[in-house]
Homo-oligomer: A and B are copies of this chain.
Amino acid sequence: MSNPSGQPTLFDAKANDETMAAEKPKEKSKPSADGGGATAEAMAKKQREISVSEFFTKNRHLLGFDSPRKALLTAVKEAVDNSLDACEEARILPDIKVTIARIGQSEKQFTMTVEDNGPGIVKAQVPNVFGRLLYGSKFHRLRQSRGQQGIGISAAGMYGQLTTGHPVRVRSKPGKKSVPLEFSIRIDTAKNRPDATDRVIEWDKDHGTEVSIDMEGEYRRGQKSVEEFLKLMAVANPHVQLTFTDPDGNVTRYERGTSELPKEVEEIKPHPHGVELGILLKMLQESENRTLSAFLQQDFSRVGPTVAKEICDKAGVKPETNPRRLDAAAVQKLKAAIDATKIMAPPLSCIAPIGEPLIIAGLKKEVEADFYVATSRKPVVYRGHPFAIEVGIAYGRPGDTLQVTEGGKIVEAAKKKSNEEVLMGAADEPIRLIRFANRVPLVFQQSACAITKAVIGTNWKNYGLQQPRGALPIGPMVVFVHIASVWVPFTSESKEAIAGYDEILEELRLALMDAGRKLGIHVRKGKKLASEFKKRNYITMYIPHVVEALRDILDLDEKAVASASTNLTTVLEKSRKL
């Protein structure tokens, strides 16, 4: 139905033809007050679908590609995440090689390459994995992994294509006897589909994957650099062998600290308590089970016959009912019954926290400090997803503070020069916070992160630290915080910060308080020692003068002087109950 007059007859579907005919417009009416605006029909012509790739091309900052200096790091992160996930799932000790090379002599264009010794990827999946957003194996599975969205590596490829016009190059060899292939993959952003070619290559490797992306970027060292990211990666992943080659050809190796892979994580079914009404409705519709009782037991974790019966009884629905036949009211009751029933917490085999000893070992490897402490909380649940919070603290720069030797003697440690390798700041600077989610360092958006909010919200004055209002505490301290979960709620697709779910904030609070208390004991002891040391210094300083005066007055010999000095020191120290 064309409408050149621009008048608002507007409904373009058949259902209204009749009505429209019945009350044919007798005068031109316009919805616009001043007559100059667009009509609903004009607006309707502009409505259209937005492809996922178009959306993220325009919003590339959501994926971590808002600036050239972030782009390289984000791409490395996504590729390394995938490599580590694949290696761990295949139970292979990861050996990862990261290379960043200039394209020609450019300071603006780089090739990022990440090569692993993982299980490879089958031919049919390679184009989808690297050339299609929202595609992957991790989204629908409830188990801890670094990737979870099916966006990251394709987004990196899309950014590369956007800024250089070059396709993504992927090599894959899924096993000793299989033929290595090289793929060239473009992303059709209007359709969000890959456009790939492949060829057989020589590749002297048993199995593995390599991805290369050309992209605009800016290579930097220091804070928020690829190097720092890899260093932090090594802290939280001591089982990984990492080799990094920078654009100048310098090679840095992060050696494996343990040859033990993290505990293998198992996929779990959803826990009934985390399921929202809409999801429950959908699960009921899609279930392959014929009875409600079987549905509850098969499609959820932690529901046995007894619990299933209890839920059905409370809901007033027969256990034999076909799950697809429940009406809306019955589903509401079922949801209420589930919420009102005690059900064992979900199995924790789906997550693999790092654990207190390895956190401390990791910190000791990379942060020199006087005192280390860690807290690994028991996993709990938000929206049905198990998660665990872990906190590690490294406190005190050797050299800045006092040290107590084993014999209890106080010695002043030699001042250490601070170099750029030192993660920890000075005594009058804000602490350094290092954040991790499923063993991946979170480098950007610190202020947007629930972890930061929890650290700021903790009263560190209780543990002997200074803390300006609404800010991080001050002191020579590194705070390590890790969340391990089957589903980490990130504040954006770039996975840089954790969203502030109440349950997560609460666990963070408790973990920080626990580590804080242990720290407090040490800090107070340190302060007491420091004050003792100062007093003792006074004694050391003044006693010779006092004794000298006594010698003059009493005319003592050397032996008597020495004895007086010792006695006086002993008396003074005793009076301070040391």
Q: Is the CB of A277 within 8 A of B468?
A: no
Q: Is the CB of A139 within 8 A of B32?
A: no
Interface string of A4-40 (1 = CB under 8 A from B): 0001111111011001100101000111111111111
Number of copies: 2
Q: Is the CB of B125 within 8 A of A52?
A: no
CA distance A36 to B264 in the complex (A): 10
Q: Is the CB of A92 within 8 A of B331?
A: no
Q: Does A465 contact B (CB under 8 A)?
A: no
CA distance A86 to B40 in the complex (A): 9
Q: Is the CB of B9 within 8 A of A178?
A: yes
Q: Is the CB of B9 within 8 A of A59?
A: no
Known: A86-B43, A150-B50, A162-B278. A11 touches B491 (CB 8 A): no
Q: Is the CB of A58 within 8 A of B19?
A: no
Q: Does A553 contact B (CB under 8 A)?
A: no
Q: Is the CB of A120 within 8 A of B328?
A: no
Q: Does A361 contact B (CB under 8 A)?
A: no
Q: Which of A35-92 contact B (CB under 8 A)?
A: 35-41, 43-44, 46-52, 54-55, 57-59, 61-62, 66-67, 86, 88-92
Q: Is the CB of A40 within 8 A of B92?
A: no
Q: Does A531 contact B (CB under 8 A)?
A: no
Interface string of A436-455 (1 = CB under 8 A from B): 00000000010110000100
A486 to chain B, nearest CB (A): 11
Which B-chain residue is minimally distant from A25 (CB atoms)? Answer: B177
Which B-chain residue is minimally distant from A94 (CB atoms)? Answer: B33
A241 to chain B, nearest CB (A): 12
Q: Which residues of B contact A489 (CB under 8 A)?
A: 59, 61, 66
Q: Is the CB of B448 within 8 A of A497?
A: yes
Known: A47-B128, A62-B492. A40 touches B121 (CB 8 A): yes
A86 to chain B, nearest CB (A): 7
A158 to chain B, nearest CB (A): 8
Q: Is the CB of A125 within 8 A of B492?
A: no
Q: Is the CB of A8 within 8 A of B165?
A: no
CA distance A483 to B23 in the complex (A): 46
Q: Does A577 contact B (CB under 8 A)?
A: no
CA distance A493 to B132 in the complex (A): 20
| Interface pairs (23), CB distance under 8 Å | A8-B177, A10-B120, A10-B122, A10-B178, A11-B123, A12-B123, A15-B198, A16-B178, A30-B175, A35-B91, A37-B264, A40-B90, A43-B89, A47-B125, A48-B137, A50-B135, A52-B52, A52-B134, A58-B139, A59-B490, A61-B501, A62-B492, A430-B470
Q: Which residues of B contact A7 (CB under 8 A)?
A: 175
Q: Is the CB of A122 within 8 A of B11?
A: yes
Name the residue in A11, A35, A136, A500 with the highest tally of chain B Cβ atoms < 10 Å from its Cβ: A11
Interface size on A, residues (CB 8 A): 120
Q: Is the CB of B493 within 8 A of A62?
A: yes
Q: Is the CB of B47 within 8 A of A174?
A: no
Which residue from B55, B207, B487, B502 sits with its C-beta under 8 Å from A139? Answer: B55
Known: A50-B134, A55-B139, A175-B10. A33 touches B124 (CB 8 A): no
Known: A124-B44, A448-B447. A67 touches B277 (CB 8 A): no
Q: Is the CB of A37 within 8 A of B119?
A: yes
Q: Is the CB of B119 within 8 A of A281?
A: no
Closest 7 CB pairs of A and B: A8-B175, A37-B91, A448-B448, A162-B278, A37-B90, A46-B137, A40-B174
Q: Which residues of B contact A23 (CB under 8 A)?
A: 177, 179
CA distance A491 to B448 in the complex (A): 10
Known: A16-B179, A177-B23, A179-B11. A50 touches B124 (CB 8 A): no
Q: Does A340 contact B (CB under 8 A)?
A: no
Given contacts A31-B118, A40-B122, 13 further A-B contacts (CB under 8 A): A11-B122, A12-B122, A31-B92, A31-B120, A36-B91, A37-B119, A40-B119, A47-B129, A50-B149, A61-B499, A66-B499, A165-B331, A448-B497
Q: Is the CB of A200 within 8 A of B50?
A: no
Q: Which residues of B contact A470 (CB under 8 A)?
A: 430, 471
Q: Is the CB of B135 within 8 A of A48?
A: yes
Q: Is the CB of B9 within 8 A of A177?
A: yes
CA distance A470 to B125 in the complex (A): 47
Name the residue in A20, A51, A447 with the highest tally of chain B Cβ atoms < 10 Å from its Cβ: A447
CA distance A55 to B150 in the complex (A): 10
CA distance A238 to B52 in the complex (A): 36
CA distance A32 to B198 in the complex (A): 25
Q: Does A540 contact B (CB under 8 A)?
A: no
CA distance A136 to B43 in the complex (A): 10
Q: Which of A345-403 contact B (CB under 8 A)?
A: none
Q: Does A332 contact B (CB under 8 A)?
A: yes
A549 to chain B, nearest CB (A): 49
Known: A123-B12, A489-B66. A207 touches B31 (CB 8 A): yes
Which B-chain residue is minimally distant from A282 (CB atoms)? Answer: B189
Q: Which residues of B contact A135 (CB under 8 A)?
A: 47-50
Q: Is the CB of B123 within 8 A of A16?
A: yes
